[in-house]
């Protein structure tokens, strides 16, 4: 108790000194301003808040820590910008501070996170249409807010390193993270730091995360996959076909999905999209025996929608490659045969009709002349 009062006494003295000698703007926070007053002000705050034992008891019985690690704050985005403590804690103008009105620790987070809006209005507005914000509005107090993902005092650049993105999402989505980290995408990111593979936000968005269970998300999912898988430069590195979207749209599944996207984007469709065959978060290499599109597993995958399918059903699948003399030669030469036969037959019939018409016209003129 004596130690706590000694910290408070130091804080009171420092606030008094600051009030006498510091500029009036010392407590008016905002990014981009001169850092020197912020350093002075923050040192005053840290005189107490650098104490790891500083905390307050909430009505719920929970203990809320009021500790801030100065080294971590200084290394954060805000610390490097010279951000003032009172730029966020607007109600703090001296000591003693106003009492904390939160009932429990979560209530405190929900009261404080909206302060991010002061500087990050665009991102804040984006979150309002997200599934997280909708869940929060519906009464789910555990739905994530800004500080759950970015932290409050130790904000860093979200994509440095990129592995931080799925590790952040893991806080709430641990089962999905476990699937992802063993997938071809997750393993390449987490084990190899591969910059080409998607993270959670590549597919789901950043602040405007939608509901992935909707018909609209399902129908647009092929376009999400196509962002990477139609990129020639990226796919060339891994010897992967960039014809995935074209070959998908060319078949019955893709053609139907494309029609739904254009005409009824919110209507449910049972036609297969990419993740129905390849998996969602647990996607494997096509030559991995555990892959859902591995030859030996393909029949079971097809039977999800086609329960009567036999072994011949998936055997006719060309994968996402166009038939060529080297790959699927039988299909290629049959297609080539018909590509030649059909124009020749139709062209021959058209020529025959045209010649017959000319002959009839000439015969008519000859009769009139006679």
State pLDDT tens for residues 176-185. 999 999 999 9
Q: For 284-314, how does the pLDDT look when each residue is reduced to its tens digit (9 = 90+)?
A: 999 999 999 998 999 999 999 999 999 888 8
The whole-angstrom separation of Cα 221 and Cα 219 is 6
Q: Which of 15-19, 162-166, 195-199, 340-344 has the lowest mean pLDDT?
A: 15-19
pLDDT above 60 (res 10): no
Phi, psi for 198 (deg, rounded to 5): -75, 150
DSSP per residue, 196-261: TS--HHHHH-SSS---TTSHHHHHHHHHHHHHHHT-HHHHHHTT--S-HHHHHHHSHHHHHHHHHH
What pLDDT does residue 370 have? Answer: 63
The whole-angstrom separation of Cα 283 and Cα 304 is 17
Phi, psi for 256 (deg, rounded to 5): -70, -45
Structural contact between residues 260 and 219, judged by C-beta atoms closer than 8 angstroms? yes
Q: Bigger pLDDT: 323 or 117?
A: 117
Q: What is the mean pLDDT of the chain?
A: 87
Q: What is the mean pLDDT of residues 217-241?
A: 93
Q: How confident is the model at residue 12 (pLDDT cuts 50, 70, 90)?
A: very low
What pLDDT does residue 335 have? Answer: 87
Half-sphere exposure of 192 (CA within 13 A, CB side): 11
Q: What is the mean pLDDT of residues 157-184?
A: 95
Nearest to 317 by CA among 337, 298, 338: 298
The whole-angstrom separation of Cα 272 and Cα 19 is 68
What pLDDT does residue 331 have? Answer: 82
What pLDDT does residue 78 have? Answer: 94
Half-sphere exposure of 338 (CA within 13 A, CB side): 5
Q: Bigger pLDDT: 30 or 332?
A: 332
pTM score: 0.76
Element (H, E) at 56: strand 55-57
Structural contact between residues 362 and 370, judged by C-beta atoms closer than 8 angstroms? no
pLDDT above 70 (res 5): no
Q: For 62-72, how does the pLDDT look when each residue is reduced to its tens digit (9 = 90+)?
A: 999 999 999 99
Percent of the chain with pLDDT over 70: 89
pLDDT above 50 (res 139): yes
Nearest to 99 by CA among 87, 111, 84: 111
pLDDT above 50 (res 3): no
The whole-angstrom separation of Cα 44 and Cα 67 is 14
pLDDT above 60 (res 164): yes
What pLDDT does residue 312 have? Answer: 86
């Amino acid at each position: 108790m004596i130690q706590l009062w000694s910290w408070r006494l130091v804080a009171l003295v420092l606030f008094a000194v600051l009030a006498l000698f510091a500029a009036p703007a010392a407590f008016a926070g905002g990014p981009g301003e001169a850092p020197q007053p912020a350093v002075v002000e923050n040192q005053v705050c840290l005189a107490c808040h650098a104490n790891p034992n500083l905390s307050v008891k909430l009505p719920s019985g929970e203990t809320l820590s009021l500790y801030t690690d100065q080294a971590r704050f200084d290394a954060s985005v805000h610390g490097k910008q010279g951000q003032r403590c009172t730029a966020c804690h607007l109600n703090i103008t001296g000591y003693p501070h106003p009492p904390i009105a939160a009932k429990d620790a979560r209530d405190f987070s929900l009261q404080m996170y909206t302060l991010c809006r002061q500087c990050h209005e665009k991102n804040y507005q984006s979150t309002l249409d997200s599934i997280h914000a909708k869940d929060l509005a519906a009464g789910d107090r555990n739905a994530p807010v800004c500080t759950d993902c970015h932290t409050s005092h130790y904000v860093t650049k979200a994509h440095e390193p990129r592995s931080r993105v799925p590790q952040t999402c893991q806080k709430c989505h641990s089962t999905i993270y476990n699937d992802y980290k063993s997938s071809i995408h997750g393993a390449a990111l987490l084990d190899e730091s591969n910059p080409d593979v998607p993270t959670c936000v590549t597919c789901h968005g950043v602040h405007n995360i939608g509901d992935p269970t909707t018909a609209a998300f399902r129908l647009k999912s092929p376009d999400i996959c196509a962002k990477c898988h139609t990129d020639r430069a990226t796919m060339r590195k891994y010897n992967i076909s960039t014809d995935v979207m074209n070959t998908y749209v060319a078949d019955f599944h893709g053609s139907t999905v494309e029609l739904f996207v254009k005409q009824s984007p919110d209507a449910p469709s049972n036609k297969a999209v990419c993740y129905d065959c390849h998996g969602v978060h647990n996607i494997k290499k096509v030559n991995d025996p555990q892959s859902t599109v591995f030859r030996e597993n393909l029949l079971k995958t097809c039977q999800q929608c086609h329960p009567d399918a036999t072994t011949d059903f998936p055997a006719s699948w060309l994968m996402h490659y166009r038939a060529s003399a080297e790959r699927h030669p039988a299909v290629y030469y049959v297609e080539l045969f018909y590509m030649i036969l059909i124009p020749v037959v139709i062209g021959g019939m058209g020529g025959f009709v045209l010649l017959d018409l000319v002959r009839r016209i000439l015969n008519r003129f000859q009769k009139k002349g006679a």
